[in-house]
């Protein structure tokens, strides 16, 4: 047993796992950035309630949120080539994750903005700020503070969901682990342990990073509120 454990964690295997982990991190980071941008835009459009557009977006978002992510991955990798676009597994995974997570984040953003009392908007507008200035400097910063726990939970789910991309042969952490214990079934449990540790490290690091940004946002929010109050007194 101990021999299997030692051999499973040989330098070659660990390096192979780290190569897969690097792909997982790359896919996760790019997907988080893209889905955050698109999700924020979609969420704000949903909040503003643009005629027809908001209703159509709401319908599309509801459809995407209720589809299995694995189905979206199958579509991006096997379906898009039928319309002339054939992404490699790396970008197919990013496209699928971005589409799915953007829909999820859009609803988090919409709900977060709507959770801010109407008095915040009214007070800022009465002090001379436009609707978009109020949204940018007053409403959205406060809403983001409320959204952080839900967003972090969604991003952590995204990191774990990258493991689904092994079905489209993405050379990520899960795929490399499968290759290792596929060559020697005695390495199965050690590889599962290694997977658990590596996914935990990435997800926990993301949680720590979110706590840092939450503290920064709270400080910036306090400064903005002081500036607005000064405008009101002047």
Buried (b) or exposed (e) across 54-65, using 16+ Cβ within 10 A? beebbeebeebe
Question: For residues 30 and 146, what is the distance between their CA atoms, to the nearest angstrom?
Answer: 24
Q: How far is CA 201 from CA 34, 194, 198, 218, in A?
A: 22, 11, 5, 26
Measured in whole angstroms, the distance separating CA 197 from the mean position of its chain's CA atoms is: 20
Rounded Cα–Cα distance for residues 57 and 106 (Å): 10
Is residue 112 within 8 Å of residue 135, measured between CB atoms? no
Cα 231 to Cα 141: distance, rounded to the nearest angstrom: 18
CATH homologous superfamily, domain 2-233: MetI-like (1.10.3720.10)
Q: pTM for the full model?
A: 0.85
Q: Give the other-Cβ count within 10 Å of 172's Cβ.
A: 26
Break the chain into its structural domains and give their ranges: 2-233
Going residue by residue through the chain, which has 234 residues, state the pLDDT in tens, using 9 for 90 and above.
Answer: 566 677 888 889 999 999 999 999 999 999 999 999 999 999 998 888 777 888 899 999 999 999 999 999 999 999 998 888 889 999 999 999 999 999 999 999 999 998 888 888 888 888 888 888 888 888 888 888 888 888 888 999 999 999 999 888 888 999 999 999 998 888 888 999 999 999 998 888 888 877 777 777 666 655 555 554 554 455
């Amino acid at each position: 047993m101990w021999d299997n454990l030692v051999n499973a964690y040989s330098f070659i295997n660990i390096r192979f796992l780290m190569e897969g982990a690097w792909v997982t991190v790359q896919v996760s980071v790019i997907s988080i950035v893209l889905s955050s941008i698109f999700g924020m835009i979609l969420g704000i459009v949903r909040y503003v309630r643009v005629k027809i557009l908001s209703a159509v977006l709401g319908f599309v978002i509801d459809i995407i949120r209720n589809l299995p992510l694995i189905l979206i991955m199958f579509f991006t990798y096997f379906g898009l080539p039928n319309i002339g676009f054939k992404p490699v597994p790396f970008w197919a995974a990013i496209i699928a994750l971005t589409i799915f997570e953007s829909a999820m984040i859009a609803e988090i953003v919409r709900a977060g903005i709507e959770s801010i009392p109407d008095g915040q908007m009214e007070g800022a507008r009465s002090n001379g700020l436009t609707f978009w200035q109020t949204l940018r400097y007053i409403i959205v910063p406060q809403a983001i503070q409320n959204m952080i726990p839900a967003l972090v939970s969604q991003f952590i789910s995204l990191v774990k969901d990258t493991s689904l991309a092994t079905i489209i042969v993405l050379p990520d952490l899960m795929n490399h682990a499968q290759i290792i214990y596929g060559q020697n079934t005695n390495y199965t449990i050690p590889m599962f342990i290694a997977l658990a540790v590596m996914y935990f490290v990435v997800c926990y690091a993301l949680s720590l990073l979110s706590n840092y940004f939450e503290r920064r946002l709270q400080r910036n929010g306090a400064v903005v509120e002081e500036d607005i109050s000064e405008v009101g007194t002047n």
